[in-house]
């Protein structure tokens, strides 16, 4: 019997691993950062808002976390290389990448100019590709495998009637990157998966949780499609993310894990 089967907790042990989280102060990025730090990872947090990064870092350091701050977004090869270099310089290696940076821009396609479409695609698709490239180069050179987690969405599978042509396109593309790299990097022991949440509690979605007529109407319409019958909470993403970055998922790659309460199952 393998050691993992004798001691199942080892399958989820990521103590001492070095992780990078981009978009670390965003809705999902801050959740990911807290989960990884709380699980014992050394974490490089990257983003554009240095004061928010430093605030998050101070909070986690107070709890004993080892955190490094990089004020960069995955906007270019140079920026992505610098983010990975920070992990290597500060902690000696890179084991886990979570690309939580991205954006949305909502309008009917007839009202959206191409520059807005391209901005969404650059943030969600090109940024994921560039950051994966930089992290993959480092992980392959280390020769010990690694974990890459991209962020998809229910909109990577489904359309939306309210002007989501840019966002849906970008998340379908993220799913494609995930599957392609899952195939490409299997031989290196690097798993590549995407986490696809639907609505979960965050500053951006707080209005949907409010007790007023408009929020109730929208929430009830949405929940009619959610088998578990509630909106998501940040902790609902903790288990799926921990699985994707831990040894428990060593045989799971190129997949989209839908943390959506069953929303896309129906």
Active site residues: 167
Residue 191 near residue 250 (C-beta atoms within 8 A): yes
Q: Does residue 33 contact residue 57 with C-beta atoms inside 8 Å?
A: no
Asked if 186 and 255 touch (Cβ cutoff 8 Å), the reply is no
Helices (H), 185-246: 213-223, 238-245
Helix (H) or strand (E) holding 149: strand 146-151
**Three-state secondary-structure class, residue 225:** coil
Instruction: Tell me which residue of 39, 47, 1, 42 sits closest to 19, measured CA to CA.
Output: 42
Beta bridge partners of 191: 147
Give the Cα separation of 110 and 86 in Å (integer): 42
Strands 42-46 and 256-259: unpaired
């Amino acid at each position: 019997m393998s050691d993992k089967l004798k001691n199942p907790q080892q399958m989820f042990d990521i103590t001492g691993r070095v992780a990078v989280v981009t978009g670390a102060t965003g809705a999902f990025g801050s959740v990911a950062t807290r989960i990884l730090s709380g699980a014992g990872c050394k974490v490089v947090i990257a983003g554009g808002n240095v004061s928010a990064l430093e605030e998050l870092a101070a909070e986690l350091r107070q709890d004993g976390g080892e955190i490094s701050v990089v004020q960069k977004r995955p906007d270019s090869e140079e920026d992505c290389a610098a983010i990975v270099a920070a992990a290597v310089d500060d902690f000696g290696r890179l084991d886990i990448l979570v690309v939580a940076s991205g954006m949305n821009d909502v309008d009917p396609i007839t009202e959206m100019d191409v520059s807005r479409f391209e901005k969404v695609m650059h943030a969600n698709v090109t940024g994921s590709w560039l950051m994966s490239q930089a992290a993959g180069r480092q992980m392959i050179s280390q020769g010990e495998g690694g974990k890459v987690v991209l962020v998809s969405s229910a909109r990577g599978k489904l359309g939306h009637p309210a002007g989501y042509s840019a966002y849906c396109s970008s998340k379908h593309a993220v799913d494609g990157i995930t599957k392609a790299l899952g195939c490409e990097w299997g031989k290196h022991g690097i798993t590549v998966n995407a986490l696809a949440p639907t609505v979960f509690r965050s500053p951006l979605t707080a209005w949907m949780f409010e007790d007023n007529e408009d929020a109730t109407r929208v929430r009830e319409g949405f929940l009619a499609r959610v088998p578990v019958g509630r909106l998501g909470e940040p902790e609902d993403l903790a288990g799926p993310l921990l699985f994707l970055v831990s040894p428990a998922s060593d045989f799971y790659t190129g997949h989209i894990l839908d943390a959506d309460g069953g929303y896309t199952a129906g």
